[in-house]
Every structure is written in structure tokens, then in C-alpha cells.
Amino acid sequence: MPLILLIVKIYIKILISKVYKLNMKILAIQNKMGIGDTVIFLPFIKAISKKFQVPVSLLVKKNSRAKEFLIYTNYIDEIIHLERDNKVNQKHDGVKGFFKLAIDLKKYNFDKVFIFNSSLRYNLISRLAGIKEIFQYPLFEKQNQHITEPAKNLIKKYLDCETSDNPEIQIDNDLVQESTLKYNINNDDLNVLLGIGGSGPTKRIPSKTFLKVMEKLETFKKCRFFLATGKNEDEQKILTEIYNTKFKEKCVALDNLNIREILPVIKNCNVAICNDTSFSHLSSALGIKTITLMADTPLIYGSYNTNMYPIIPDGEITVSHNTRGKDKINPDKIYEKLLSIIN
């Protein structure tokens, strides 16, 4: 009889454990600003999801645009917006915002949280939100922190697993097929994404550089060029300078599409040539071989993914903030790199 009771108790424990696992709710906090910052951290989010066999919710800033490009990614659960930027008085700023965020998170009943920063603020907020298990970078070590090494160490320490996978954005194949038909994309052509926009003027490579590459590609193979950029005046000027040339009939401007609408088009491309901008991160995470033009940003942002092939300004050994090398990106090197990729 005691043996039967023991077996029953063990069975009940296993059953409870499975039910708990199915209902487990996990949050990851990534409080950096842009699309690229979110994409870079996706391998760590995926590792957490794989370890616990549940999708992970994200607390990210609205300008990460995560709701637009992670809608079909199966290891992501809910996207929660962190309304805080320290410049204007937003919902989660200051002391009031501290408590407001704790109240907002408490409604979700998270069991675990992974905090991808060293801030005491988010640690305390998580505690106030009733989250029992908190995993975080070492506190107060923000200064000169490497962008991904602390995240790798966090996952290794608490989950005992490596995260060598590239970032992965998933997309509905039906949408890819729809965009193929909509834009009359021919697989016999070389379909090239040109990410000509940029979050700042020092990242925006001049139109003449792209045009020289397009000239060279014309002699190699029949091409279609998909021009991805924003609505900034300078970005629109570069778009116009490229579009209003002999290449007009071979160009498709994507500036009127939102991120969600652009993703299927990107997935249809054979290769991408992008400034250090959101499109370089999105295309490489979609599995597209992406030449990243690194004019004024630390090289890690254009080389963390094996689908990325960085080009740096002539005369430079590496790049960082204030390199200011947009006029020294060599179109010949871009062309040579592209040939090596597609061949």
C-alpha cells in the first residue's frame, strides 16, 4: 500500500509540474530603443522559450516596432510597450511611472522575468509586480557594457545553454507568395533590397554610391531593386535621386509600406545592401544575405549575424560612433562582396 501511495504521489507531482509548465508565463525586458536592438536580442529570447517550452512575452519600447515584425514569430507571446524615454514625461517615467509599470505588469501574473540590463529599477519593479523568479545582468554594471556578452552570460549561467543561433523572424508563407504576385517578382531576376534609409544623417550613404553599384550589377544580371526607406526629408531625397534615373522601371519604392507589409517583400529578395538601419537587421533575421554599410556605428551592429557582410569606410580598420565615413564607402567593394555572396 505505501508503495502504491508513493507512486500516486510521484504521478501527481509530475502532473502538477506539467500543468505548471503549460501555464508558465515568462517576461523578458529589453529597454533599448530601436528595431535593431530588439532583433539582436532575439536569440536569447528564443533560448528562454526553448528551455521552458513556452513563448515569451516582451517588454519593449514602442519604437522597437516589435508588434509589427514579431507577429508571426512563434516563440514570442505578448508584446507589452514600455512607455519611457527620459526626455518627455511618459506613462512609465519617474516615480509615478515606476509604480504604474509594476501595476501594469502585475496584471499578467508572470512567473519568471529575464532582465537584459543592469538597472535596479527594473529589478524592483519586477518584485513589486509579484514575479517570483528574477534573472538579470549583474546590477550597476551598465558603463561600457558589451551589447551581447552579458546576455550570453545570463543565459549560460541560469539556463546552462549556448545561444549561437542567428536572430530569427518568422513570417507567414502565404504573405510571401502574395507579395510575389503583387510585385511580379521573378525568381530568374536578381532581386535586391536596397536599405537606403537611416536613423541619422551620418548613417545615410549617398545615392551616388548605390547608383554605382546598380550600374555594375546591370552588366552582371537582370535586376529588380526594392528601395526601403523612411519618410525623413533627407531619406526621401536619396530615394528620389535613385528612383528618377534610368533604373526607374527596375525600382520598386517601399516607403509607403509599414514594417509588416515590407517583410514579405524582403523575404522575396536574393540579397540585401543596407545602411546600418532597421532593414539590415530585419533582412538578415529573415535569412537574407545582407551587406551592411557601416559608416558611423560600432561594427558589432553590422556583424553579429552570419547573414551579415559588413563594409567599412576606406582607410578605416574598424568603425565606431563618430567615424563619419559615409562618403568613404567604396561601391567596388560592395559589388565584389555581392558577387562573392551570390556565387
Please write the tens of the pLDDT for every residue from 155-170.
999 999 888 779 999 9
pLDDT of residue 17: 43
Residue 226 above 90 pLDDT? Answer: yes
Share of the chain above pLDDT 90, in %: 81
Between 165 and 130, residue with greater pLDDT:
130
Residue 10 above 90 pLDDT? Answer: no
Q: Assign 20 a pLDDT band (cuts: 50, 70, 90).
A: very low
pLDDT of residue 141: 74
Give 104-128 pLDDT, tens digit per residue: 999 999 999 999 999 999 999 999 9
Same fold, 18-159 and 173-342: yes
Average confidence (pLDDT) over 56-65: 96
Average confidence (pLDDT) over 2-11: 56
What is the three-class DSSP state of 326? Answer: helix
Residue 48 above 50 pLDDT? Answer: yes
Assign domain 173-342 to its CATH architecture: 3-Layer(aba) Sandwich (3.40)
Contact 338, 273 (CB under 8 A): yes
pLDDT of residue 321: 86
Average confidence (pLDDT) over 83-102: 88
Backbone φ, ψ for residue 131 (5° rounding)? -80, 120
pLDDT of residue 294: 97
Contacts of 138 (CB under 8 A, 6+ apart): 118, 150
Provide the residue count of the chain.
343
pLDDT of residue 21: 53
Residue closest to 204 by CA, chosen among 275, 303, 265: 275
Q: Assign 78 a pLDDT band (cuts: 50, 70, 90).
A: very high
Average confidence (pLDDT) over 23-37: 93
Residue 135 above 80 pLDDT? Answer: yes
Contact 228, 235 (CB under 8 A): no
Residue 74 above 90 pLDDT? Answer: yes
Distance of CA 161 to the CA centre of its chain: 21
pLDDT of residue 19: 44
Q: Which CATH class is domain 18-159?
A: alpha beta
* Cα–Cα distance for residue pair 228/272, rounded to 1 Å: 10
A 10 A CB-CB count for 267 gives 21
Residue 144 above 90 pLDDT? Answer: no
Please, what is the average pLDDT of the chain? 91
- Ordered by start, the domain boundaries in the chain are 18-159, 173-342
Residue 207 above 50 pLDDT? Answer: yes
Contact 255, 265 (CB under 8 A): no
